[in-house]
Structure 1
Amino acid sequence: MAAVNAPSGYSLVADIGGTNTRVALAKGQVLQQGSIKRFRNADFPGLETILRTYLEGEGIAACAGACVAAAGPVHDGVATMTNLDWTIDKPMLTRATGAGTAAILNDLQAQGHAIGHLAPDVLRPVIAAHGEANAPGPNAAKLVIGVGTGFNLAAVYDTAQGRLVTPSESGHASLPARTEEDLRLCTYLETIHGFPSVEDAISGRGLERIYDWLGQEAGDPAEKSAADIMAGANEGSDARGVKAVATFTRLLGSVAGNMALIHLPFGGIYLVGGVSRAFAPHFAAHGFTEAFRDKGRFAGFMQNFDVTVIEDDYAALTGCAHHLAALMDGAGAL
């Protein structure tokens, strides 16, 4: 592509994680095949340099629009990365891309904007709803739960004014305790961090903490990386790893069930993130569904909710493209 001075017909979308940033071009709502590039954040002083480097490589001087998804809270149009010392705002985004329209989303918001726009082969059913309620309408609320390096969620509402995806920082809420064992885990996490948050247990590093806690309980402390714990559990060669995976699965099911009662997502719950994908094969064996529905007299009501794992690394980019296209078309996406 030859560089141009006026905005091209392409928009830029990016998914900024704590370690890597993915950048791509979109034409309207459609990601351009072959345009997705990954950049290691540690190799750059900030996002602006990454975006300029990407556009220079694509031979594009200016974009029609730009939308980025950031792994951190977004407040008044400014994103503060949770696990990276970067702050991202619209003036910088416009300066780096030349875009006439710029938007900044929380990463879970971007995932929410992708719901309904993903190929069926990246959707892995976990729980099928079979309650007595009528089939949900197309505008029924949905919920995206992200489990990866951290934990967070976003509720999705389709309204007459456009799609609204509400941000949150739910991973930093208190971890619920259902059993005596859960209370001991909370006490352990509080001793380490001063506060037992959901993310301290239900995340990649949370799995490592559960494993360490089980070692402390057994009087045989040992540390392992999340990848090694999963490998041992998958092979069946590490009994403690299997128990850590089972504990994690039960806690995730319980928290997801709590969130379902708070948001009533009759349109479905979608689990995203690398840890969600890694745990999906273990859900049936370790009681995810049972923990999700373990809500006393509301156990039957919990059968109204579908749960699906999204197995698409680029869903956030798709969500950015759809959100940006709606903004540029004046459709009022929020």
Structure 2
Amino acid sequence: MPQDLIALVADLGGTNTRVALTRGATVQTDSIKRYRNADHGDLASVLRAFVAERSVTPDAACVAMAGPVRDGVGELTNLDWIVERDAVAAVTGAKTVAVLNDLQAQGHALDHLTADVVQTVLPGKPARDHAARLVIGVGTGMNAAAVYRLDGRTLVPPSEAGHVSLPAQGTDELRLLDWIARKHGTPGLEDVLSGRGFERIYAWLCDEDGTGTPLDAGAIMQAVDDGTDPRATQAARIFVRMLGRAASNLALIHLPFGGIYLCGGVARHFAPHLEPLGFEDAFTDKGRFADFMPQFPVHIVSDDYAALTGSAAHLMELLS
């Protein structure tokens, strides 16, 4: 039965891969292991190491990866790895194998999240059951995916929303857009709304001021937390403003009355700064639709293993 299913699930990002075993839709937390991608040549090497260490042949396997997937084949956006469903089956011995975009896995996890890992940023209004929802991931990269419930099943269409053209409002943002275009090519959302995007905002401010040394994202965020660097706070304010606007643009496209869920390491680090740095103002700044926007609830997901849970939940639905 699906609830007794032993599955191998993997969350493959640009920097690390986390692998775990699950029973049904429940991740066996004591089985979770993190691998540095730099120490391995491909995903098969990671999975081979995990399977050998655990001496297990799972019934099924699912890989959630940070990149576009088509017909069971995916390519990581920020790492030169190809993931193929047949190769995953060969390494793991699993008879049922799925390959998802990582935001699809986050969407499949929503119905399995506990209240303690969901922090409300904007309360919104109550919605009917099965209202559309939206997950927005901000971490090494950026993406978003709509989540629907149809006939008792979860549908999460794939998306590569992080690579749409970067919108800009006002002269300062236009200068930022031009600076990114000169330094890094055509700017997309991910060129601002990601860890390296945050670094680019700070580097641009250094260039604007004609002084200062660019910092990595961790150092900038630490300065924001400590209140020791006004430029870091300004960079965070720009980041939050553009995140609010991107979320509201996506909300108007998908109408997620069931809620918007921000996930990913960068989103979690920004959680305490969203309110003071103007997320709500940016989210509701929609002209004639300003009064329409407050009905969308916005949440932060703090469960770092949600993509693993979502992968298991997807397999459960496939086999039920």
**Alignment-mate amino acid for residue 291 of structure 2:** G
Q: 1:251 to 1:9 in 2, by over 3 A?
A: closer
1:213 aligns with 2:204: yes
Aligned to 2:315: 324
By percentage of residues, which structure has more helix? 2
Q: What is the rounded CA distance, in whole Å, between the counterparts of 1:196 and 1:83 in structure 2?
A: 15
Which TM-score applies when normalising by structure 2?
Answer: 0.97
1:182 is matched with: 173
Matches within 5 A, 1:72-111: 72-111=67-106
Gaps of at least 5 residues in structure 2 are: none
Q: What is the rounded CA distance, in whole Å, between the counterparts of 2:65 and 2:89 in structure 1?
A: 16
| Aligned counterpart for 2:237 among listed residues 216, 230, 246 | 246
2:51 equivalent to 1:55: yes
Q: How far 1:9 moved relative to its partner?
A: 5.0
> Which of 13, 28, 41 is residue 32 of structure 1 equivalent to?
28
1:222 deviates by 2.1
What letter corresponds to residue 328 of structure 1 in structure 2?
Answer: L
Cα distance in 1, alignment partners of residues 182 and 212 from structure 2: 16
Q: Identify the range of structure 1 (39-48 vs 292-301) with the bigger mean alpha-carbon deviation.
A: 39-48
Q: Note the C-alpha offset of 1:44.
A: 1.8
SS at match of 2:137: strand
3-state secondary structure, aligned to 1:102: strand
For residues 278-312 of structure 1, the C-alpha deviation after alignment (integer angstroms, 9 at most, x for no partner) is 00101111110010000001011001100000001
Q: Which consecutive residues of structure 1, in runs of 5 or more, have no partner in the other structure?
A: 1-7, 330-334
Output the amino acid matched with 1:103.
Answer: A
Spell out the pairing of 1:257-296 with structure 2 (5 A cutoff).
Answer: 257-296=248-287
Q: Secondary structure at the match of 2:83?
A: strand
Counterparts of 1:239 and 1:222 in 2: how far apart (Å)?
Answer: 14
- Report the equivalent of 1:332: none
**Alignment of 1:129 onto 2:124:** yes
Q: Measure, in 1, the Cα distance between the counterparts of 2:5 and 2:165.
A: 46
Distance apart, 1:33 and its partner CA:
3.0
Q: State the SS of the aligned residue for 2:135.
A: strand
The 3-state SS of whatever aligns with 1:183 is helix
What's the counterpart of residue 119 of structure 1?
Answer: 114
d(CA) in 2 for partners of 1:39 and 1:230?
25
**Alignment partners' CA distance in 2, 1:221 and 1:107:** 36
CA distance in 2, matches of 1:169, 1:107: 11
Percent identity among equivalent residues?
53
